[in-house]
Structure 1
Amino acid sequence: MKLTKRSFVVFAVAAAGCLMSRAAVYNIVDYGAVSDTTRLSTQAIQRAIDSCTEAGGGTVLVPAGSFKTGSIFLRDNVTLNLENGATLYGSTDIKDYTPVTTGYVSLRTVTPTIQLIYADGVSHVAVTGQGTIDGRGSAFPKLSWNDEGITRPHLLRFICCSDVSVEGVTLRNSGCWMQHYLACDRVRIDGITVFNRNNYNNDALDLDGCHNVTVSNMIADSDDDGITLKSTSPRLCEDITISNCVISSHCNAIKLGTETNGGFRNIIVRGITVKPSADQSSQFFGFPGGHGHSAISLEIVDGGTMSNVDIADITIRGTESPIFIRLADRRRPYSKDVPVENVGSISGVRLHDILIDEAGPGGSSITGVEGHPVRDIELRNITIRHKGGQKAVAAPSDEKIAEYPESTMWGILPAQGFWLNHTRGVIFDNVRIEAITPDARPLFVATDSEGFVTKE
């Protein structure tokens, strides 16, 4: 294409205008937000977001101050940036939260849900900065078994979004799950701090049926699960890399499950430190001293498949039953119209270069279902130091194949190291089990387990 001097100038000005639009900053104060936690700034913040996306995108700025808000909705090409010293406080009045529905069918979207910050079908969206978002979730009591997101708001919820970034911010005190990313593509979570120990179902992070995700440099302290991958629809969680995080959890620090309708594939976890929480002021789960149930839980219980999972370079202090690999047959459907008709599978799991100290006496387990064994599992260069002091016990007679999976579901296991049941091709290579006090149980017990190998 040939450009005259005049047309080139017009083109250059238009391009510069486009760049300026995308770089524009929309300060919520200019739209009526007030640094006063007795006054709602929801409408002002939403006006800033809407103006930003209508102009082609940019940054919605939350300046230093304390702002109260109900539900806000992020739009395309919007970065919500919280300056150092800025805090968004969630309203403690449930009437300030907007119930929403989504067209995406999953276990957790069958009823309208409420959340502080929400995005559905949005692309190029981010939450960044050095500020804080505090959901004040203790204001919302647990009213029923499955009321999370219904009468207790999520703090962040993204559904069917793409090119999502959450960086730098501190997230505190959600009414239930802190962050739920459902069926999202290309998600980047980096350098955030999470404290979520004020209510039930206080997970730190839930990636649910997401593709192409990196999570790095997160420090999280949660009463419920820490880093959790889920599959509450037929969509697998796949191509996920998690690295360089410090996790405290009263439940499971790293967990694939419990919901597993689609499953998990190509998951890499590296460089994680698991430790007890220093703050015991609120505790809904866990054991004395802040110990969680498990450090690593890998579960398929609602159909689905798990394959190509590699977890390494993990340092763990505490947890009662550190490693839990569970194939079972609960068959909870993601929709009442789509029953689960198969057991699912677990294969191709590698756990290596893991140091576990101060573990409880319960023991770890790798268990499948009769006729549906867990296959092709390698555990290498692992040391477990546990409390010990137990008498010999028999293997559990009730396999509990339809129950909620939990690493402590059988109590004290027959092995101080690992109990294997219904497995094929499990290899232990340089796996050391050390009891602090004498323990009468063998290091390994294997039932219906072919190809079970231990190497020094």
Structure 2
Amino acid sequence: MKFFLRHNYFSIPGLAVIAALFISGSVFTTEYFSKEYDLKQFNITDFGAVSDTTVLSTKAIQTAIDECSKNGGTVVIPAGNYKSGTLYFKDNVTLQIDRGATLFGSLHLKDYPENNPDYTFFRKGTLKRALIYAEKCTNIAITGDGTIDGQGAKFWIPKGAKVNSYSVRPYVIWMIKSRDIRIEGVRLRNSPLWMQHYLACDNLYIHNIDVFNHSNKNNDMMDIDGCHDVRISDCTGDTDDDGITFKSTSGRANKNVVVTNCILSSHCNAIKMGTESNTGFKNFAISNIVIRPSKVSDKYIYGRPEGIGGIALETVDGAEIDGVVISNIRIDGTLCPIFLRLGNRARKYFDEQSIERPGVLQNVSINNVVATGAQQIACSISGLPDYPVENISLSNISVEFEGGGTLEHINREVPEEEQSYPEFNMFGELPNYGFFIRHAQNINFSNIRLFTKNSDLRPALFLSDVQKSDFRDINMDSTEGNNCNIVVENSQHILFSGCRVNGPSSSFIRFKGNENQNIYIQNNLLPEVKQVFTPSETKVMNIRETGNIK
């Protein structure tokens, strides 16, 4: 009966078979259903695949895939060690890698034919190779409890070699303009490039996979690129480069994405949008994520062993980031827990493209985050002059910083770096230890805890060109020698309410610049603060201060 239920014999053809058996007086037997079941399974050893990594089984596995696709079914890789070059997916095929089975990628580039997808994207003509390749396929899956190992270290390109390293390193999985995709249960190891790249795909489901990728440059866990209706859940990843990564390298935005219940480790950024950001990232819900240090702590290719970023939302090539909700995140050890950046690198994804203006970063909510181990460079939320980030809400956030900043940092001029590669340390040492916010409007902070392990003479917050924003219930550390807890520079219509300063300070708020106005300071608890605000050397219009306890 096991086979009966699993293969839906209650379909019309199935019912006809059952009726015929009853009429003939036949008895249902395991043998009968076993034969029916076997017709849907294609064991690669039946097509000549050999459990021997000295033998290339590409042709045998591909033949099994081709036969399976005629009527749909499952290609089974049984327990054993098999080696293959590029495999081409076909419609209605599930590749099942059984427990105890490992599919190794060939060590020879000649076994990975070049492919030129019928789709325009950045690096088209350069990215060409993959161990598992799907283009314009429907209803495909990779499942099982086994392993795919790309043997990526063997494709290392020495520094200075006169070759584009992207063109001679295959992905493990590359799927383009395909739909109804399921990746479930498998262990993915050691890609020569990104582990997985899903480009312009629809209805993508990635569940319960385990990724370990520390063998080569650009060892991302997964890259979702211009895909719609994406669900990623219950995954574990440990990578040298970025973890769950969303890119926009073509004219198609990422839309309708859910990520939940994952454990991530990365030497770079654990959750990232960008840096390749040509079109957009819309309607995201990301929740219940643990970000922890990598198990590989003694070496790294990119980033740092601790990880450089927890949540990084970056648009620098004209893309829109719009409608992102991130909640219930635990971040341990990364240098910068939260980094949001709107820049203007303006890199094209095809030569004729025209990028008229910077992108958009708006309508982002980040809540229920606990982060420890953040380093001296602060978190930041930054746009550009005349192109602010908008409608950003942070609530129920607790961040522990290393501390160690000095008074000299406060007066440092922070460069705009408009066209630079976006990374948490792009501005250098920031003039505050908590959050640096510049060129922004409608920013809302509530119930935020910012504290330092060691003494830090910088303020907790630095606001520059910030408009129409509320900062409520900010609990911030201060140490002997602090001359202020918040810097407000050329900002208007700002509310500070219900904040608490823990420790001594000369002033709660210090004003800089000529254009501060309509600042409301009310009901803050400042027991060791000498004065609520420092009168600016320049004009400040309409400051209202009431109910503050000193």
Q: Give TM-score, length-normalised by structure 2.
A: 0.78
Give the secondary-structure state (helix, strand or coil) at the position aligned to 1:452: strand
| Separation (CA, whole Å) in 2 of partners of 1:446 and 1:134 | 48
- Is contact 1:115-1:149 (8 Å) kept? no
| Matched letter for residue 347 of structure 2 | R
* Larger-Rg structure: 2
| Residue 97 in structure 1 maps to residue 112 in structure 2 | yes
Aligned pairs for 1:207-218 within 5 A = 207-218=224-235
| Residue 31 in structure 1 maps to residue 47 in structure 2 | yes
| 1:325–1:44 CA distance, 2 compared to 1 (3 A) | same
2:339 corresponds in structure 1 to 324
| Separation (CA, whole Å) in 2 of partners of 1:209 and 1:9 | 39
- Is contact 2:297-2:306 (8 Å) kept? no
| 1:73–1:14 CA distance, 2 compared to 1 (3 A) | farther
| Residue 409 in structure 1 maps to residue 426 in structure 2 | yes
1:3 corresponds in structure 2 to none
2:392 corresponds in structure 1 to 377
Q: Which aligned runs of 4 or more in structure 1 are off by greater than 6 angstroms?
A: 8-11, 14-17
Give the secondary-structure state (helix, strand or coil) at the position aligned to 1:280: coil
| Matched letter for residue 273 of structure 1 | V
Deviations 1:312-338 (A, max 9, x none): 000000111211100010100110111
Cα offset, 1:14, TM superposition: 12
Cα offset, 1:73, TM superposition: 0.6
**276, 283, 306: which is aligned to 1:266?**
283
| Separation (CA, whole Å) in 1 of partners of 2:308 and 2:209 | 24
Gaps of 5+ in 1: 1-7
| Matched letter for residue 158 of structure 1 | M
1:5 corresponds in structure 2 to none
Gaps of 5+ in 2: 1-11, 21-31, 474-550
| Matched letter for residue 49 of structure 2 | A
Aligned pairs for 1:316-395 within 5 A = 316-392=331-407, 393=409, 394-395=411-412
Cα offset, 1:293, TM superposition: 1.2
- Is contact 2:116-2:124 (8 Å) kept? yes
**400, 420, 442: which is aligned to 1:425?**
442
Moved more, 413-422 or 79-88: 413-422
Q: How many residues align?
A: 445
Higher RCO (CA-CA < 8 Å; seq separation 6+): 1
1:12 corresponds in structure 2 to 16
Give the secondary-structure state (helix, strand or coil) at the position aligned to 1:238: strand
| Residue 67 in structure 1 maps to residue 71 in structure 2 | no
Deviations 1:271-325 (A, max 9, x none): 00001112235411233xx211110000111002111100000000011121110
1:246 corresponds in structure 2 to 263
Moved more, 242-251 or 103-112: 103-112
| Matched letter for residue 167 of structure 2 | I
| Separation (CA, whole Å) in 2 of partners of 1:347 and 1:198 | 36
| Residue 51 in structure 1 maps to residue 55 in structure 2 | no
| 1:235–1:21 CA distance, 2 compared to 1 (3 A) | farther
| Matched letter for residue 449 of structure 1 | V
Deviations 1:345-365 (A, max 9, x none): 111000000000111111100
| Separation (CA, whole Å) in 2 of partners of 1:359 and 1:235 | 35
Moved more, 440-449 or 136-145: 136-145
Aligned pairs for 1:292-311 within 5 A = 292-311=307-326
Cα offset, 1:142, TM superposition: 3.0
Give the secondary-structure state (helix, strand or coil) at the position aligned to 1:12: helix
Give the secondary-structure state (helix, strand or coil) at the position aligned to 1:451: strand
**189, 204, 209: which is aligned to 2:206?**
189
**128, 139, 155: which is aligned to 1:113?**
128
| Matched letter for residue 187 of structure 1 | L
Cα offset, 1:396, TM superposition: 4.2
- Is contact 2:414-2:427 (8 Å) kept? no
| Matched letter for residue 16 of structure 2 | A
| 1:148–1:194 CA distance, 2 compared to 1 (3 A) | farther
| 1:248–1:396 CA distance, 2 compared to 1 (3 A) | farther
| Matched letter for residue 88 of structure 1 | L
| 1:431–1:112 CA distance, 2 compared to 1 (3 A) | closer
| Residue 451 in structure 1 maps to residue 468 in structure 2 | yes
| Separation (CA, whole Å) in 2 of partners of 1:365 and 1:131 | 41
Cα offset, 1:411, TM superposition: 2.5
- Is contact 2:267-2:303 (8 Å) kept? yes
| Matched letter for residue 85 of structure 1 | G
- Is contact 2:414-2:430 (8 Å) kept? no
| Matched letter for residue 463 of structure 2 | A
- Is contact 2:327-2:369 (8 Å) kept? yes
Give the secondary-structure state (helix, strand or coil) at the position aligned to 1:329: coil
| Matched letter for residue 117 of structure 2 | T
Cα offset, 1:109, TM superposition: 2.3
Cα offset, 1:233, TM superposition: 0.8
1:315 corresponds in structure 2 to 330
| Separation (CA, whole Å) in 1 of partners of 2:320 and 2:197 | 21
**78, 87, 96: which is aligned to 2:102?**
87
2:56 corresponds in structure 1 to 40
| Separation (CA, whole Å) in 2 of partners of 1:33 and 1:197 | 29
| Separation (CA, whole Å) in 2 of partners of 1:130 and 1:9 | 31
Cα offset, 1:150, TM superposition: 1.2
Give the secondary-structure state (helix, strand or coil) at the position aligned to 2:63: helix
Give the secondary-structure state (helix, strand or coil) at the position aligned to 2:399: strand
Q: Give TM-score, length-normalised by structure 1.
A: 0.94
| Separation (CA, whole Å) in 2 of partners of 1:231 and 1:145 | 28
- Is contact 1:387-1:435 (8 Å) kept? yes
| Separation (CA, whole Å) in 2 of partners of 1:375 and 1:454 | 15
| Separation (CA, whole Å) in 2 of partners of 1:15 and 1:432 | 69
Cα offset, 1:110, TM superposition: 3.4
Q: CA RMSD in A?
A: 2.1
| Matched letter for residue 45 of structure 2 | V
- Is contact 1:53-1:77 (8 Å) kept? yes
| Separation (CA, whole Å) in 2 of partners of 1:270 and 1:421 | 27
1:400 corresponds in structure 2 to 417
| Separation (CA, whole Å) in 1 of partners of 2:68 and 2:357 | 47
